């Protein structure tokens, strides 16, 4: 069984305790308290962190010393038999994402285009931008990153399933897997590495691919001239080095994303998981603050990276007058492949 | 040509009668597991007067008459157990009146649920009726004649409680109006304040007369409808959860369901709650009430709300087109269920029985309970799917359903749309004086025993 | 269950639950299965046919005139396929009915109307029993020239070539295409029946014969693009001919005309008229072409297009599909499809029913007469309407 490579010493000697002090959902009086609580987690003791963490993934980004505080919190919760979300919801996710041999795999050669287990990703990975790889799509639980189970503190599911997913890709004989789901790329890089799993192919982040393709299609781009707010997904916290790509793409297609309070490191969760974990009060509050902030920044569109965020927030942002759109569709709009109406 | 056939043609014309092998074969069965039995004629009347003449003819000739809607009870209730005439009532499908201010409609008995829905949507968009989950071809009269339920049953009771008047052709051929239309032009009350004679026909499965017209309550059709879905793996907590939910008095419909396939549903009990509002604020207010009512179960991690975003349109659709899907799970076009009306507190025992029977008889199960009248009782469906090309599987389903009914009766439940065998099981357990009264009513209304014979009889 | 007769999709027949969704449009406002609407017996609904087919395959019922009537009364409008709630087999419903009909054809137990139709096509090349050398007569005066090597072949089909109402439609389309400067020709007396309805009636041998004859002619003449008058021809050219070696592009005339209007090759003057459009099943549900005819009608300045309560995917058939145009199994009673449809058209308040199929044109024209609506409602082909609105 794979084990989390967590460096206790790195944590013990941490001068900042940013992992907890920067948390947007828990409050600490200062470094001593935050450090103390984190060390309780490290030592396997009870800590209020284990009860209060809402699983936003952000501490993976806040820790700049190469440790994995969020994975550790999830490990400890599972060890103690704790549930973040209600038990039936947790088990439903485990059942729903179980491999049943019902996957789809296209004409895969050197490259595969991973649609995870999210039907919405199929249509996104199409058209001029993806013309060279669209036929190499793969979809299904067999190719799904199991990172979602970190939300439910079921790292055992990840440890059991991720090697199988990696092996399924290996069996396809691919050299590269282009991940349309942010979380897949995060899983194949951050989680796999944290657990010492070898990935025998190169995971490619779709925004890297998108950026390169849009540069190639530069002649077709008609700058959109719109103002947007970007909804950063939780899994992007696992790959913070990829965050600048969003701004690069926006620039290329003539999209303005004015500075707002809840962006980058300070981004707010889409809150769907918060609703599941703690109920509507926190979720409603987070969503309201987030959308208020988008509107205050003058956004016309709310741009998504993750289909789950999009599903969770589309209706809500629409009701407040913002047009929801995935960043791939935004690029398709820029090259005239899609109209400027909201793409739900 | 026989004299009876000639007489029938005289009444309804050539296109209204058939004794061709094709119609006799088709109208001898329903989609459930009961064995077919052929009628001698299938007749499709267009008016009450035609029905009257057919019944008078049947009386003279002493042949059975079985009124049929779309034949979708699945319990063989319109299989002509003793032959005779099957009356296909679907050509009597006129919507005669909608009294919008009085919130009722008057319809011919063969009007389909789907057509009434479409008619109201087009002509009276602020009104709706309690649409059952059965396919839209099912008829209004058949639904009330078997005490059907619908999407407003938690709020307003059985669909038969929503009847506001009847026109019935009695087994002796008289045309009879029941309730307020018996003394005036309005169809607003089936009984009160008179003695409620509608009970002589509602629930009788066509054994006491043929319902040719129905007055039906309509209800406000709010601008928004929404749904929440709560899941738990603690079946023992389901009755308490339902008690808390019905205490809110805001839910138009509450269903509790569990099924082993697809895998995401395995091991959990799902409570689907439908609610309505005329404003976003009303919807949000009700949503919060629902969440608050169940917060304690979230805190204890015993239950939680599912995100319904991706299945919302399927859940809100009326009738639910995906419900029939269950029939095709074993790739064989069939399912049948026993749907006893039971106490909600017995939910865990019923749920356990479903799984036990499915295992014992090696059949695929699904179960969906619907709360009735704000939580006084529920309809608990014990459904088994089957492959129509596999007689052995059908036989196993029949046995499982019989055992389910025995269990329900042991639990003090009341069978919903019992087939002729289950009716006997009921009568055997019925308090003798109640049974005597039941049979006395039947005997008096139908002295020749020509109405849907084989049903509600001591000896078939 | 063991079957004693066999059809290709017999392994699906028992999966029909006979729930009856197939009888309706998606809002349930009326019965949308023409044969069920006309006959009123469950046996004449798609579910009834599925169950009876199963009984017949198993020998529980025998071949009979009634069984044949039930099977051949299906107008192949595809409403049942659209509405069936079982995604895993819904697509095969009309195939099953066609396969059953093919078996009945093989047994030689078919209704007289069907027999006469097939005999006429086999003997004369058209159901009207009219001589082949009169097939191209309709084109006189339209400016259409015999096909040599033009860019497009205009295929008129049997109804467009021989039926009076159909001919008017064909002529107006012909004139419109010629006036717009399209490089187009016709086969005239050399044209052969497309065979769509022969195929739906289950005479697969005759269909293959007709299709191969057509293909041979298309090949010899180097035909690359075909414009059809009749959506039935469009359907079989697109759906069935490729498997027999057909390699050409096929368009319905409404698609071509819509494009010509867009390119301003056809210019229209204002015409304040209320029009309702009847979707032909073989253009709509079978070929998914809903927009082009509407674009054309909407392009007429001041004309108002009013939709019937059942339109597009939910349109009610005229009753002429599946060979019923000729065999007339549905009859002409008040609940026959064409009469129901013109009453529905009347409800819109329109004075014109626009049609895009010669079969529909004929069916609805007759129905307007039967309903005594000649003073109020006119059935016109889309090209005929354009001729009235042309500058």
Range C267-389 classified under CATH 3.40.50.10700: yes
Give yes or no on whether C127-258 and C267-389 have one common fold. yes
pLDDT band at residue B460 using 50, 70 and 90 as cut-offs: very low
Q: B3-90 has which CATH code?
A: 3.30.43.10
Q: Which H/E stretch holds residue C348?
A: none
- Residues B107 and B214: beta-carbon distance below 8 Å: yes
Query: What is the average pLDDT across A20-32?
Result: 96
Q: Could you give the CA distance from residue C229 to residue C301 in angstroms, rounded to a whole number?
A: 25
Question: For A313, which residue in chain B has the nearest alpha carbon?
Answer: B309
Bridge partners, residue B335, by sequence: B385
SS (H, E, C) chain B: CCHHHHHHHHHHCHHHEECCHHHHHHCCCCCCCCCCCCCCEEECCCCHHHHHHHHHHHHHHCCCEEEECCCCCCCCCCCCCCCCEEEEHHHCCCEEEEECCCCEEEEECCCEHHHHHHHHHHHCCCEECCCCCCCCCCEHHHHHHCCCCCCCHHHHCCHHHHEEEEEEECCCCCEEEECHHHCCCCCCCCCCCCCCHHHHCCCCCCCCCEEEEEEEECEECCCEEEEEEEEECCHHHHHHHHHHHHHCCCCCEEEEEECCCCHHHCCCEEEEEEEEECCHHHHHHHHHHHHHHHHHHHHCCCEEECCCHHHHHHHHCCCCHHHHHHHHCCCCEEEEEECCEECHHHHHHHHHHHHHHHHHHCCEEEEEEEEECCCCEEEECEEEEEECCCHHHHHHHHHHHHHHHHHHHHCCCECCCCCHHHHHHHHHHCCHHHHHHHHHHHHHHCCCCCECCCCCCCCC
Residues on chain B touching C333 (C-beta within 8 angstroms) = 15
In chain B, which residues touch C (CB < 8 A)?
A: 15, 18, 20-23, 25-27, 31, 42, 44, 70-72, 88, 90-91, 112-115, 117-119, 121-122, 135-137, 321-322, 324-325, 327-328, 331-334, 387-389, 391
Q: How does pLDDT run across A245-299, given as a tens digit for each residue?
A: 999 999 999 999 999 999 999 999 999 999 988 899 999 999 999 999 999 999 9
Tell if the CB–CB gap between A279 and B264 is shorter than 8 Å.
no
Instruction: Calculate helix-pair angle for A69-79, A155-171, nearest 10 degrees.
Output: 120
Give the Cβ contact number of residue C263 at 10 Å. 9
Residues on chain C touching B136 (C-beta within 8 angstroms) = 20-21, 24, 28
CB pairs under 8 A between A and B: 62
- Residues B347 and B371: beta-carbon distance below 8 Å: no
Give ranges for CATH 3.30.43.10 in chain B. 3-90
Q: Which chains touch C (3 or more CB pairs under 8 A)?
A: B
Domains belonging to chain A, first-starting first, are: 8-79 (no CATH), 92-210 (no CATH), 218-334 (3.40.50.1860)
**pLDDT at residue B459, as a whole number:** 67
Q: What does the pLDDT profile of chain C (391 residues) look like in tens digits?
A: 789 999 999 999 999 999 999 999 999 999 999 999 999 999 999 999 999 999 999 999 999 999 999 999 999 999 999 999 999 999 999 999 999 999 999 999 999 999 999 999 999 999 999 999 999 999 999 999 999 999 999 999 999 999 999 999 999 999 999 999 999 999 999 999 999 999 999 999 999 999 999 999 999 999 999 999 999 999 999 999 999 999 999 999 999 999 999 999 999 999 999 999 999 999 999 999 999 999 999 999 999 999 999 999 999 999 999 999 999 999 999 999 999 999 999 999 999 999 999 999 999 999 999 999 999 999 999 999 999 998 7
Q: C127-258 has which CATH code?
A: 3.40.50
pTM (two decimals):
0.94
Structure tokens at B132: 């059952």
Question: For A87, which residue in chain B has the nearest alpha carbon?
Answer: B301
Query: What is the average pLDDT across B46-54?
Result: 98
Q: Could you give the CA distance from residue C167 to residue C360 in angstroms, rounded to a whole number?
A: 13
CB pairs under 8 A between B and C: 108
Q: How does pLDDT run across B289-342, given as a tens digit for each residue?
A: 999 999 999 999 999 999 888 899 999 999 999 888 888 888 888 999 999 999
Maximum Cα–Cα distance across chain A? 59
Report strand pairing: B85-88 vs B41-43. parallel
Q: Which chains touch B (3 or more CB pairs under 8 A)?
A: A, C
Instruction: Calculate helix-pair angle for A280-296, A307-319, nearest 10 degrees.
Output: 70
Q: Could you give the CA distance from residue C147 to residue B77 in angstroms, rounded to a whole number?
A: 65
Positions of E strands within C56-98:
none
**pLDDT at residue B326, as a whole number:** 83
C-alpha dihedral (B234, B236, B238, B244), degrees to nearest 10: -110
| Chain B contact probe: residue of C1, C2, C11, C17 with most B CBs at under 10 A | C17
- Residue B333: which of C16, C40, C42 has the nearest Cβ? C16
Q: Minimal Cα–Cα distance from B235 to chain A, Å? A: 11
Which of B158, B146, B203 lies closest to B376 in space, CA to CA?
B158
Q: Could you give the CA distance from residue C367 to residue C341 in angstroms, rounded to a whole number?
A: 8
Q: Could you give the CA distance from residue B12 to residue B49 in angstroms, rounded to a whole number?
A: 10
Domain boundaries, chain C: 13-110, 127-258, 267-389
Superfamily of B224-410 according to CATH: FAD-linked oxidases, C-terminal domain (3.40.462.10)
- Touching chains A and B? (3+ Cβ pairs < 8 A): yes
C-alpha dihedral (A120, A123, A128, A130), degrees to nearest 10: 60
Q: How does pLDDT run across A128-142, given as a tens digit for each residue?
A: 999 999 999 999 999
Q: Could you give the CA distance from residue A9 to residue A6 in angstroms, rounded to a whole number?
A: 9
Query: What is the average pLDDT across B175-197?
Result: 95
Around C186, how many Cα atoms within 13 Å sit in the side-chain half-sphere? 29
Give ranges for CATH 3.30.465.10 in chain B. 92-220
Bridge partners, residue B342, by sequence: B378
Q: Could you give the CA distance from residue B424 to residue B403 in angstroms, rounded to a whole number?
A: 14
Q: How does pLDDT run across B106-160, given as a tens digit for each residue?
A: 999 999 999 999 999 999 999 999 999 999 999 999 999 999 999 999 999 999 9
For the domain made up of B92-220, give the CATH fold: 3.30.465
Q: Minimal Cα–Cα distance from C103 to chain B, Å? A: 17
Give ranges for CATH 3.40.462.10 in chain B. 224-410
pLDDT band at residue A341 using 50, 70 and 90 as cut-offs: low
């Amino acid at each position: 069984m794979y084990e989390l490579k967590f460096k206790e010493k790195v944590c013990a000697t941490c001068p900042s305790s940013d992992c907890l002090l920067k948390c947007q959902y828990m409050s600490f009086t200062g470094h001593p308290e935050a450090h103390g609580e984190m060390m309780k987690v490290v030592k396997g003791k009870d800590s209020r962190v284990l009860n209060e963490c809402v699983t936003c993934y952000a501490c993976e980004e806040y820790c700049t010393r190469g440790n994995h505080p969020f994975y550790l919190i999830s490990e400890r919760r599972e060890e103690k038999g704790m549930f973040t979300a209600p038990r039936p919801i947790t088990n439903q996710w485990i059942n729903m994402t179980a491999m049943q041999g019902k996957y789809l795999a296209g004409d895969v050669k050197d490259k595969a285009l991973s649609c995870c287990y999210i039907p919405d990703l199929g249509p996104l990975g199409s058209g001029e931008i993806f013309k060279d790889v669209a036929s190499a799509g793969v979809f299904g639980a067999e190719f799904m990153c199991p990172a979602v189970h970190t939300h439910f503190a079921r790292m055992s599911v990840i440890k059991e399933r991720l090697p199988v997913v990696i092996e399924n890709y290996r069996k396809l004989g691919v050299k590269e897997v282009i991940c349309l789901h942010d979380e897949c790329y995060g899983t194949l890089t951050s989680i796999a590495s944290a657990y010492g799993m070898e990935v025998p192919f190169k995971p490619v982040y779709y925004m890297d691919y998108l950026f390169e393709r849009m540069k190639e299609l530069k002649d077709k781009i008609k700058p959109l001239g719109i103002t947007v707010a970007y909804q950063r997904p939780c899994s992007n916290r696992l790959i913070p080095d990829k965050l600048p790509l969003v701004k690069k793409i926006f620039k290329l297609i003539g999209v303005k994303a004015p500075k707002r309070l809840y962006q980058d490191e300070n981004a707010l969760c889409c809150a769907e998981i918060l609703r599941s974990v703690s109920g509507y009060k926190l979720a409603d509050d987070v969503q309201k603050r987030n959308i208020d902030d988008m509107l205050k920044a003058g956004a016309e569109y709310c741009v998504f990276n993750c289909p789950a965020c999009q599903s969770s927030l589309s209706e809500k942002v629409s009701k407040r007058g913002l047009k929801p759109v995935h960043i791939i569709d935004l690029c398709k709009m820029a090259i005239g492949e899609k109209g400027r109406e909201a793409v739900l | 040509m026989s004299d009876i056939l000639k007489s029938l043609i005289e009444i309804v014309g050539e296109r209204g009668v058939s004794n061709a092998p094709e119609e006799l074969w088709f109208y001898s069965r329903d989609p459930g597991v009961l064995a077919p039995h052929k009628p001698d004629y299938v007749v499709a009347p267009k008016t009450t007067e035609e029905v009257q003449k057919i019944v008078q003819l049947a009386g003279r000739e002493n042949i059975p008459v079985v009124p049929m809607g779309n034949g979708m009870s699945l319990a063989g209730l319109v299989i002509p157990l003793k032959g005779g005439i099957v009356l296909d009532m679907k050509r009597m499908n006129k919507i005669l009146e909608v009294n919008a201010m009085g919130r009722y409609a008057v319809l011919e008995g063969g009007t389909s649920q789907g057509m009434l829905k479409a008619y109201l949507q087009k002509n009276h968009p602020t009104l709706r009726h309690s649409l059952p989950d059965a396919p839209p071809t099912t008829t209004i009269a058949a639904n009330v004649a078997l005490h059907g339920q619908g999407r407003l049953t938690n709020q307003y009771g059985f669909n038969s409680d929503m009847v506001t008047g009847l026109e019935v052709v009695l087994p002796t051929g008289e045309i009879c109006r029941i309730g307020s239309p018996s003394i005036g032009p309005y169809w607003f009350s089936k009984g009160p304040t008179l003695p409620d004679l509608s009970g002589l026909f509602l629930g009788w499965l066509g054994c006491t007369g043929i319902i040719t017209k129905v007055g039906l309550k309509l209800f406000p059709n709010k601008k928004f409808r929404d749904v929440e879905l709560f899941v738990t793996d603690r079946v023992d907590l389901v009755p308490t959860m339902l008690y808390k939910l019905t205490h809110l008095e805001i839910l138009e419909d509450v269903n509790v369901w569990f099924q082993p396939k697809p895998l995401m549903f395995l091991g959990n009990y799902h409570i689907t709650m439908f609610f309505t509002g005329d404003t976003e604020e009303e919807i949000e207010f009700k949503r919060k009430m629902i969440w608050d009512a169940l917060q304690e179960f979230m805190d204890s991690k015993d239950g939680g709300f599912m995100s319904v975003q991706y299945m919302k349109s399927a859940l809100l659709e009326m009738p639910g087109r995906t419900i029939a899907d269950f029939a095709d799970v074993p790739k064989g076009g069939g399912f049948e269920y026993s749907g006893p009306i039971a106490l909600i507190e017995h939910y865990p025992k019923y749920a356990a029985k479903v799984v036990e029977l499915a295992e014992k008889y090696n059949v695929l199960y699904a179960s969906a309970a619907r709360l009735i009248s704000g939580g006084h009782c529920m309809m608990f469906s014990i459904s088994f799917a089957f492959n129509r090309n596999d007689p052995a599987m059908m036989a196993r389903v029949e046995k499982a359903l019989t055992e389910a009914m025995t269990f329900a009766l042991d639990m003090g439940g009341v069978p919903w749309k019992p087939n002729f065998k289950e009716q006997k099981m009921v009568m055997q357990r019925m308090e003798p004086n109640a049974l005597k009264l039941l049979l006395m009513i039947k005997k008096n209304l139908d002295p020749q025993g020509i109405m849907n014979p084989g049903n509600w009889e001591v000896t078939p | 269950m063991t079957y004693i007769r066999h059809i290709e999709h017999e392994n699906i027949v028992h999966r029909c639950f006979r729930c009856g969704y197939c009888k309706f449009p998606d809002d349930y406002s009326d019965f949308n299965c023409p044969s069920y609407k006309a006959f009123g017996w469950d046996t004449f609904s798609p579910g009834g046919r599925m169950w009876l087919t199963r009984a017949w395959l198993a020998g529980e019922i025998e071949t009979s005139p009634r069984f044949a009537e039930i099977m051949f009364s299906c107008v192949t409008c595809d409403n049942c396929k659209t509405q069936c709630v079982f995604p895993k087999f819904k697509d095969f419903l009309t195939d099953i009915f066609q396969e059953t009909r093919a078996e009945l054809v093989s047994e030689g137990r078919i209704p007289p109307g069907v027999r006469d139709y097939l005999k006429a096509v086999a003997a004369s090349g058209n159901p009207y029993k009219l001589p082949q050398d009169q097939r191209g007569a309709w084109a006189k005066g339209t400016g259409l020239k015999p096909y040599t090597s033009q860019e497009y072949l205009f295929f008129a089909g049997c109804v467009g070539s021989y039926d009076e109402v159909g001919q008017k439609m064909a002529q107006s389309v012909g004139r419109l295409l010629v006036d717009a400067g399209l490089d187009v020709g016709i086969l005239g007396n050399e044209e052969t029946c497309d065979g769509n309805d022969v195929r739906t009636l289950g005479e697969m041998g005759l269909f293959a014969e007709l299709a191969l004859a057509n293909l041979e002619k298309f090949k010899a003449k180097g035909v690359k693009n075909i414009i059809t008058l009749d959506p039935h021809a469009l359907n079989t050219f697109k759906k069935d001919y490729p498997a027999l070696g057909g390699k050409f592009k096929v368009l319905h005339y409404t698609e071509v005309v819509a494009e010509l209007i867009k390119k301003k090759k056809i210019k229209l003057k204002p015409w304040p008229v209320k029009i309702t459009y009847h979707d032909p099943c073989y253009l709509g549900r079978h070929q998914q072409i809903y927009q082009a005819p509407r674009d054309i009608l909407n392009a007429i300045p001041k004309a108002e297009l009013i939709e019937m309560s059942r339109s597009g995917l939910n349109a009610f058939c005229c009753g002429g599909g599946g060979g019923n145009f000729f065999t007339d199994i549905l009859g002409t009673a008040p609940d026959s499809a064409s009469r129901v449809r013109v009453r529905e058209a009347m409800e819109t308040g329109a004075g014109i029913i626009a049609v895009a199929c010669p079969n529909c044109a004929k069916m609805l024209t007759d129905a307007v007469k039967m309903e005594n609506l000649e003073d109020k409602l006119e059935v016109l082909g889309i090209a005929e309407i354009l001729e009235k609105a042309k500058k």
